[in-house]
Chains A and B, each alone.
Chain A
């Protein structure tokens, strides 16, 4: 305790020296923090891309497009979706080949969920609504446009695509990539069997629907809880229903047209896809991964991350060197002081303890100041190098639930501070060696 008091007093009594030392160390630690933060941002972004793209496995009935939508008559007369649709039969053995249309089942989903490394899954079914309770939107003939094609006068009606999903947070289907809610909300997980719908803008406009209105689908009353836009006329002429609601309304109990599976790590994607193929059979399901897409997206970022890693290591080494040299210079300047203290009766323990504590104080203060001063800059640099590092991932149902958003800024700061401390811990060795090896007689001449 006495040495602690001595060390703090020595610092306070030489404020200029302490401030300059803090300044030098703060700058070096700050630079190291910037590099650590940038490196962390690269890693975080790569992890996010991996979690969003690289770890997803898509399973569809073998030979199907849009989860068998086409084979069930999509885009044409007699398309599937009504109570009398031809594929509304039993599903067994993971596929319904009875009607000549491959369809997955909940049994298949359960089998997939039990496969190692599968952390979450999303199920969807798609159907075309062919009833007369709703009016389909139309593709208008665009005046003198050279792309008018052979559209008839009054435009061509667009089929009404209905998608049932158990992942209401990511409304995606044929022609719809992550629908954007423009009014109302999406349905909730606990509304799995409720008669609620999120309707595309085009379909809502054609039928004069707003949030809170109800409409009929296959003789059932469904409430509009949200309206979305997808950016395409086809996508906006569709609707999303909770999976079980869609199954009931379109008499497809237990059926699944597409399963999107999330795997725990990108490294396990390939083996998990193989396991799924083995479980379902390649003649039953098409299993596709996004490894190639991930590689294409992440390769430049990975290269930049490697460069950043080298820069971070260089910055840490430079910081350590600056700290060591600074402490060595200060300790050498204080050789006479050390000699005087020893001549007056201070023990080696006292001298080493005092110098070490002074160094520790300075390093801690410098680390805090360096972190506070450079963290906003580090964030700016990191955000500039790696765009949108805070993309939220989530909404998946099934085992494991949704993914997280990656490391927070606080955890990154803590990691940076830990690295800084490891650098700082090297510094007390200098005052110790100087205090014990330099005889007092040299200091006092």
Chain B
């Protein structure tokens, strides 16, 4: 994809010939091997493929948790492939929200405190405002009010994932990256979570879900299929 194409897709996530290899002993793992793809803005996008195909690596690259060996990654009009220091921290904090397979809530914080965490990291000074917004987000993800002050260990898997989604929304990011968000949930709860993620995709926000769950793929606006570090399919929903 040309630079011109990238510029005309301001707001979308665009990857240009992105490569990420890892050393594993004497072998080289080609986790992402020259991927170029444009992720449209405001859509629910499913990233499909078998385990080890490079889905998680691609998510990490988009979230600036890792850097590509080569290629460019444009998110919301900005090249993030070479970010470092405070700019990289600010990108992760303000532009991206993460939803993890293992929920990854802070065990010593309550549900509402977990949601307030990104706001505090951003430096939001108004404690009342933080709490009100966190309450609002938890209500939005349909977590019962009596669960708001519980610690993660006293929440079910589905409830923990709802808290994680609310936390991902805390700083109103343009891109939500979800890695196998239903893998640790029963099918009913999983469908609820997917429905919730589906509702988050809007004009301003893109949701990218790495999964090998076909039920998620069926609800996506776009399904991108990977195998052995390469894109092998792109299906509009």
Residue numbers of A with Cβ under 8 A of B are: 2, 10, 13-14, 336-337, 339-347, 350, 439-441, 444-445
- B98: chain A residues within 8 A (beta carbon): 343-344, 444
Bound-complex Cα distance A441 to B57 (A): 8
Interface segment, B42-50, B73-81, B104-112?
B104-112
- State whether A13 touches B121 (Cβ < 8 A): no
Q: Give the top 7 A-B pairs by smallest Cβ distance, nearest first.
A: A345-B93, A13-B108, A441-B60, A440-B65, A347-B89, A345-B121, A14-B108
B133 lies within 8 A of chain A by Cβ: no
Indicate whether A336 sits within 8 Å of B104 (C-beta atoms), given known contacts A343-B63, A343-B92, A439-B66: yes
Choose one: A350, A439, A441; the contact of B121 (CB below 8 Å): A350
B221 lies within 8 A of chain A by Cβ: no
Shortest CB distance A283–B (Å): 85
- B93: chain A residues within 8 A (beta carbon): 344-345
Say whether chain B's binding surface is mostly helix, strand, loop, or mixed.
helix
- A440: chain B residues within 8 A (beta carbon): 60, 65
Shortest CB distance B211–A (Å): 15
Shortest CB distance B103–A (Å): 10
Indicate whether A344 sits within 8 Å of B167 (C-beta atoms), given known contacts A13-B108, A14-B108: yes
Bound-complex Cα distance A441 to B20 (A): 13
Interface residues as binary, B69-105 with A (CB distance below 8 Å gives 1, 0 otherwise): 0000000000000000010011011100010100010
- State whether B104 touches A340 (Cβ < 8 A): yes
Choose one: B60, B66, B90, B179; the contact of A345 (CB below 8 Å): B90
- State whether A344 touches B108 (Cβ < 8 A): no
Bound-complex Cα distance A25 to B6 (A): 56
Of A10, A14, A342, A345, which is in contact with the most chain B CB atoms at under 10 Å from its CB?
A: A345
Bound-complex Cα distance A336 to B106 (A): 9
Bound-complex Cα distance A336 to B94 (A): 21
- State whether A441 touches B117 (Cβ < 8 A): no
Residue numbers of B with Cβ under 8 A of A are: 56-57, 60, 63, 65-66, 86, 89-90, 92-94, 98, 100, 104, 106-109, 117-118, 120-122, 167, 171, 179
- B63: chain A residues within 8 A (beta carbon): 343
- B179: chain A residues within 8 A (beta carbon): 444
- B120: chain A residues within 8 A (beta carbon): 2
Choose one: B92, B94, B108; the contact of A342 (CB below 8 Å): B92
- State whether A444 touches B106 (Cβ < 8 A): no
Shortest CB distance B101–A (Å): 9
- In the complex, the chain A residue whose C-beta lies closest to that of B118 is A344
- State whether A441 touches B66 (Cβ < 8 A): yes
Indicate whether A337 sits within 8 Å of B106 (C-beta atoms), given known contacts A343-B65, A345-B171: yes
- In the complex, the chain A residue whose C-beta lies closest to that of B109 is A13
Show 9 residue pairs from A and B whose CB-CB distance is below 8 angstroms, ordered by the A residue: A10-B108, A13-B108, A344-B92, A345-B94, A345-B121, A346-B121, A347-B89, A441-B66, A444-B100
- State whether B92 touches A444 (Cβ < 8 A): no
Bound-complex Cα distance A124 to B144 (A): 94
Of A14, A343, A344, A445, which is in contact with the most chain B CB atoms at under 10 Å from its CB?
A: A344
Shortest CB distance A309–B (Å): 43
Indicate whether A444 sits within 8 Å of B121 (C-beta atoms), given known contacts A13-B109, A344-B93, A344-B167: no
Shortest CB distance B181–A (Å): 13
Indicate whether A347 sits within 8 Å of B86 (C-beta atoms), given known contacts A337-B106, A340-B104, A342-B92: yes
Shortest CB distance A225–B (Å): 73
- State whether A346 touches B56 (Cβ < 8 A): no
Bound-complex Cα distance A347 to B84 (A): 11
Of A350, A439, A444, A445, which is in contact with the most chain B CB atoms at under 10 Å from its CB?
A: A444
Bound-complex Cα distance A350 to B94 (A): 16
- In the complex, the chain B residue whose C-beta lies closest to that of A13 is B108
- B106: chain A residues within 8 A (beta carbon): 337, 340
Bound-complex Cα distance A445 to B98 (A): 12
